[in-house]
A = this chain, B = another copy of it.
Amino acid sequence: MHGLLVVDHGSRREEANAQLADIASRLRRLRPTDAVEHAHMELGEPTIVQAFARLVAAGATTVSVLPYFLSGGRHSSEDIPRLVAEAVAAHPGVAFTVAPALGPHDALARLLLERAGLA
């Protein structure tokens, strides 16, 4: 089974953390045969270690890590790969890749216009 792990920075605001759970629900709907979990890099649970363990328990042997960040930078290119590598060390035989950040992309420009009622 393939697993998806969507990861944001994490916030002290419960509302912001809840939005990541909402995105995970959307991913489950779009990819019904994958295992999907969400995790916060810091400041909230589930942590990457917790979410990764859940994916493996669900039967995932390959995992796509999806950084939920608008722009690339240290978090998506260094911190998340390091934290995921630490989490995967407890699960030998599980392979993972880390995707690039979301932006920039026309889909984001189009969504900006939609949010403004212009699309």
Contacts and interface: CB of A to CB of B under 8 A. Distances in A.
A114 to B, nearest CB: 8
Nearest to A119: B30
Interface string A91-119: 00000010111111111111111111110
A80 interface: no
A91 B27 CA distance: 44
The quantity of this chain's copies bound in the complex is 2
Interface of A (DSSP majority class)? mixed
A87 to B, nearest CB: 17
B113 A30 contact: yes
A30 B110 contact: yes
Interface residues of A, number: 42
A70 interface: yes
A102 B69 CA distance: 12
Contacts of A70: 8, 19, 68-70, 102
6 contacts: A16-B71, A26-B104, A26-B108, A99-B112, A102-B112, A107-B111
Interface of A: 4, 6, 8, 13, 15-16, 19, 22-23, 26-27, 30-31, 64, 66, 68-73, 97, 99-118
